[in-house]
Amino acid sequence: MSRVTRYISRQIAVSLLAVTIGLAALIWLTQSLRFIELVLDRGLPFSVFLELTGLLLPSFFAVILPITTFIVTLFAYVRLSTDRELVVMRAAGLSDWRLARPALIVATVSTVAGLVLQTWLVPVSHAAFREWQFEIRNQMAAILLQEGVFSSVSNDLTVYARLREKDGTLRGILIHDMREPGAPVTILAERGVILPGANGPRVILLNGQRQQMERVVPPRSPPGTPPVPQLSVLAFGENSVDLARTGKAEDARNRDSRERFVGELLNPDPEEGLLERDIRKFRAEGHGRLASPLTAFSFAMVGLAAALATGFRRHGGGLTAMMAIAAVVTLLALGLAVGNLAARDNRFIPLIWLHAIGPGVVAAWVLSGAPGWPRRAPPVPSDAPPLPRGRRARLAPRAAQGASR
């Protein structure tokens, strides 16, 4: 590896590491705000918050790595051009592909890292994240209950306790349960205690009343009479309510697509009984997992084509950089559209690969000297005196030899 390659590679690699970590930290801060309530309001330890939100980082890195690779590559070469370093390197006889070699090395490393993230680390971390969510919603529901607060154990289950004694006994309990569609239940009890169960915590209620709104047909009504709402009240000495929404077996059967490996997405198990719509979605996501890391290399090629193929510009390459950024933003929007289209109809899956590889192929064609593409040769310095045409032709090879030495 030459000095020029090491020099440019070091700049790109350090910038890529700093920008990727900084952008991922910013996204982590914005996304972790929705979990801070678990620590501030519900008494969970801060280590749980860090572990829960830390499991989201691999998916952040997988998404932003192609973008940061493009940004760092583009602006590194624009800076080299602005500082006239590319002029000197070209005068020494380096071609565009030789100048692009450092960025291609870093882009290859980014592609390999993205492939590891998408095929292994993202499904593993997302599965652990879902497991933590299950534990907090079900196994740790007892911790989430606070005295004097209407605690939402889930979206359709609310528990209130007027007092919570040191031994865990609850007094003045109100439970509003809407887990059964069309039949909400409200339970009032003098006291109760939370005990562990097979599917999660269970609260044992003593001396209370159960109120349920049901729709029934009035007795001795003519046929065809629509049911009317009726409140049924039942007094009890002891009753029990499961605070867990589902059991672990059911939760495991409904695994999210992001916690499945690529092999499971491309070839779903027929015994799971998945709907055809879900199978199409899984296959499209499997191809997207394999193709998305290649966008890091393609986007880097777009940045190289914009920075190198347009040659030297005396007033900087701001317009070229903006055009390249607009092109990549358009490619990102097209990627979302292509992914949704392939999820609805698997015949469009080849478009996922075309979107990942096509920009890199076009950029390589431009970088190789596409016919008609605007290029500018390095200009003569403005402070140099004008030379006769013949003398300039004789001195040009000498200047190139001196720069190479």
pLDDT band at 398 (very low <50, low <70, confident <90, very high): very low
Closest CA to 297 of 106, 122, 150, 137: 106
User: Is residue 339 pLDDT above 70, yes or no?
Assistant: yes
Please give the Cα distance from 293 to 107 (Å, whole number): 10
Residue 226 lies in a domain: yes
Residue 287 lies in a domain: no
User: Is residue 397 pLDDT above 60, yes or no?
Assistant: no
Q: Which domain holds residue 226?
A: 146-246
User: Is residue 355 pLDDT above 90, yes or no?
Assistant: yes
CA distances from 307 to 61, 65, 94, 198, 322 (A): 25, 20, 15, 62, 11
Residue 184 lies in a domain: yes
> If DSSP codes are grouped into helix, strand and coil, which group holds residue 145?
coil
- The pLDDT score that the predictor gives to residue 64 is 96
User: Is residue 217 pLDDT above 80, yes or no?
Assistant: no
Phi, psi of 230 (to 5 degrees): -145, 135
Comparing 169 with 135, the larger pLDDT belongs to: 169
Q: What is the mean pLDDT of residues 331-345?
A: 96
Residue 214 lies in a domain: yes
Comparing 163 with 224, the larger pLDDT belongs to: 163
Closest CA to 96 of 298, 303, 305: 305
Q: What is the mean pLDDT of residues 144-162?
A: 80
Q: How far is CA 219 from the centre of its chain?
A: 57
> If DSSP codes are grouped into helix, strand and coil, which group holds residue 373?
coil
Comparing 355 with 216, the larger pLDDT belongs to: 355
Which residues pair with residue 205 across a beta bridge? 192, 239
Residue 239 lies in a domain: yes
Question: Domain total for the chain?
Answer: 1
Residue 235 lies in a domain: yes
CA distances from 330 to 301, 320, 323, 326 (A): 16, 15, 11, 6
- The pLDDT score that the predictor gives to residue 20 is 96
Who contacts 135 (Cβ-Cβ below 8 Å, separation ≥6)? none
CA distances from 90 to 4, 96, 195, 381 (A): 12, 8, 76, 14
Contact present, 400 and 378 (Cβ < 8 Å): no
Which among 2-6, 109-113, 183-187, 257-261 has the top mean pLDDT?
Answer: 109-113
HSE-CB at 126 with a 13 A cutoff on CA atoms is: 18
Q: What is the mean pLDDT of residues 102-114?
A: 97
Residue 187 lies in a domain: yes
Comparing 88 with 298, the larger pLDDT belongs to: 298
Quick: pLDDT tens for 55-76. 999 999 999 999 999 999 999 9
Phi, psi of 260 (to 5 degrees): -105, 145
Please give the Cα distance from 56 to 117 (Å, whole number): 12
Comparing 69 with 218, the larger pLDDT belongs to: 69
Residue 131 lies in a domain: no
- The pLDDT score that the predictor gives to residue 401 is 47
